[in-house]
A and B are shown apart, each in its own frame.
Chain A
Amino acid sequence: AIRMTQSPSSLSASTGDRVTITCRASQGISSYLAWYQQKPGKAPKLLIYAASTLQSGVPSRFSGSGSGTDFTLTISCLQSEDFATYYCQQYYSYPQTFGQGTKVEIK
């Protein structure tokens, strides 16, 4: 199975900060990568698919980049509603796999 490793596991940031989360695949996955945001007690929400395509309705402060094995999710100007846990997911091959998550907390 392809292993997805996110870093950092958690971070503290302030409103207005630029935040970057990275995701590394154990083997190449082309651009078959998605990013999700999850808040406590809620289902995950799709932010980015195909590594860099913004899902409809998602604010433009979210962006994704990368291909192959190294990927990045960037939040350009952190808002209060962005404090949550973020997951990457590869869907290049089965079994599909998620990263372990990155919790973005208020500094």
Chain B
Amino acid sequence: EVQLLESGGGLVQPGGSLRLSCAASGFTFSSYAMSWVRQAPGKGLEWVSAISGSGGSTYYADSVKGRFTISRDNSKNTLYLQMNSLRAEDTAVYYCAKPGTVTTPGGFDLWGRGTLVTVSS
């Protein structure tokens, strides 16, 4: 079955760290750039970060640059997001997302169910 399954969310104090994982199945994971997208409670979608299929190129939103690190393990078909120096405004549901084609980085045709990250003392 073609799917993405996120894990690793939870409650963390401001300044703390968390690592999210996204397990992929049913498609050739290493062929696709992958992204993380988040949604704060009651708010819109925010693209967070992306990584090329090989892992050699990474991209970040200004709001997380220097604090978050995206990575992937193609041997395990897994995407990661290491989140450090967390702030209250990072509270959101975090989705991993796959583009519809191997040649474009967007137009996400496959999304996970999301994992909730809550930053609060």
Q: List residues of A whose CB falls within 8 A of some B CB.
A: 1, 32, 34, 36, 38, 43-46, 49-50, 55, 87, 89-91, 94-101
Contacts and interface: CB of A to CB of B under 8 A. Distances in A.
Interface of B: 35, 44-47, 50, 59-62, 95, 99-100, 104-109, 111-114
Contact of B44 (A34, A94, A101): A101
Contacts, number: 68
Given A90-B106, A95-B61, A44 B111 contact: yes
Nearest to A45: B111
B107 A46 contact: yes
B108 A44 contact: yes
Given A34-B107, A44-B108, 15 more contacts: A46-B100, A49-B104, A50-B107, A55-B100, A87-B44, A90-B106, A91-B99, A91-B106, A95-B47, A95-B59, A95-B60, A97-B47, A98-B45, A98-B47, A101-B44
B107 A49 contact: yes
> Which label, helix, strand, loop or mixed, suits the secondary structure of the A interface?
loop
Contacts of A97: 47
B35 A96 contact: yes
A94 to B, nearest CB: 4
A91 B104 contact: yes
A94 B113 contact: no
Nearest to B111: A43
A89 B106 contact: yes
A91 B109 contact: no
Nearest to A49: B107
B46 A98 contact: yes
Contacts of B100: 46, 49, 55
B94 to A, nearest CB: 11
Nearest first, the 5 closest Cβ-Cβ pairs linking A and B are A91-B106, A49-B107, A43-B111, A94-B59, A34-B107
Contacts of B47: 89, 95-98
